[in-house]
């Protein structure tokens, strides 16, 4: 009887060990597979934006986004974060107006152009250009301003998570400025694309009763000219949130 129980315990122990080894192998395989999938997605994102910026020597106009200039001019300069800085026009405008800037983009090509332009304008000492996929990593430190100008993408972008992380990185009294496409121009090939509404974006950001003040949330129109000289009126969705500075308030 004792021998039977002993053999049964040995059998159970052997089977349990075998299942544990199998589960461990499956777990390792799953982790490796997940890592490979994430790497493939990262490569796809970077490849898309490298191809985008590789289409021409210059993609953007080198002029600051008009909403950024309008909304930031009244702020006291401090430390700013430019999300998806592209070829660096906004970052250089901020630096020229006294800000110390961290400018981030996933495209090395765009960053190389931005660095060259900043160096030519003697602004490189005020801008820290960083190559990052913001869905994977985020700059260190706190900021007095976070600017997300048309921070939208046709390929993978954990936008909500990035904007929440950006809000968390603001110092007391800091400002989060989000400017989104609210409509597509008539000449766009993606007329069926639906842009998020202001209400939808606000729902993903910190609420007013959680230490935040909503400074502005509205659609603003602007006139644009298309590649063939066409004129159109577009809507920009503008959201400005300020983190409460309770020490200053007291």
Write the DSSP string, 72-99: HTTSPP-EEEEET-TTSHHHHHHHHTT-
Quote the pLDDT of residue 122: 97
- What's the pLDDT at 212? 94
Q: E strand or H helix at 146, and its extent?
A: strand 143-149
**If you search the block for the tokens 């935040």, which residue do you land on?**
212
Torsion of CA 126, 132, 134, 135, to 10 degrees: -170
Q: Identify the pLDDT of residue 190.
A: 67
For 77-110, the pLDDT digits (tens) are 999 999 999 989 999 999 999 999 999 998 999 8
Q: How far is C-alpha 10 from the chain's CA centre?
A: 55
pLDDT of 3: 54
> What pLDDT score was predicted for residue 36?
46
Low-confidence stretches of the chain (pLDDT beneath 50): 2, 8, 12, 15, 19, 23, 26, 28-40
What pLDDT does 30 receive? 47
Q: Which residue has the tokens 């989000």?
A: 178
Nearest alpha-carbon partner for 114 in 55, 60, 181, 188: 60
The pLDDT score that the predictor gives to residue 44 is: 81
> What token pair was written down for 204?
């993903």
- pTM of this structure: 0.77
pLDDT of residue 188: 75
């Amino acid at each position: 009887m004792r021998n039977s129980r002993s053999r049964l315990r040995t059998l159970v122990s052997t089977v349990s060990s075998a299942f544990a080894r199998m589960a461990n192998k499956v777990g390792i395989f799953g982790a490796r597979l997940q890592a490979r999938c994430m790497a493939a997605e990262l490569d796809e994102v970077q490849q898309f934006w490298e191809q985008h910026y590789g289409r021409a020597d210059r993609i953007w106009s080198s002029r600051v986004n008009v909403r950024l200039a309008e909304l930031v001019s009244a702020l006291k300069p401090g430390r700013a974060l430019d999300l998806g800085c592209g070829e660096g026009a906004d970052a250089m405008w901020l630096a020229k107006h006294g800000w110390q800037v961290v400018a981030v983009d996933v495209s090395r090509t765009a960053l190389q152009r931005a660095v060259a332009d900043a160096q030519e304008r003697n602004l490189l000492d005020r801008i820290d250009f960083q190559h990052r996929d913001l869905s994977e990593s985020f700059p260190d430190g706190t900021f007095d301003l976070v600017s997300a100008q048309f921070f939208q993408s046709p390929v993978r972008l954990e936008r909500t998570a990035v904007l929440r992380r950006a809000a968390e990185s603001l110092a007391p009294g800091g400002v989060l400025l989000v400017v989104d496409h609210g409509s597509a121009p008539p000449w766009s090939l993606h007329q069926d694309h639906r842009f998020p509404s202001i209400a939808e974006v606000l729902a993903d950001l910190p609420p007013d009763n959680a230490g935040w003040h909503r400074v502005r949330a509205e659609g603003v129109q602007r006139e644009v000219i298309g590649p063939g000289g066409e004129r159109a009126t577009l809507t920009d969705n503008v959201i400005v949130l300020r983190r409460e500075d309770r020490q200053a308030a007291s």
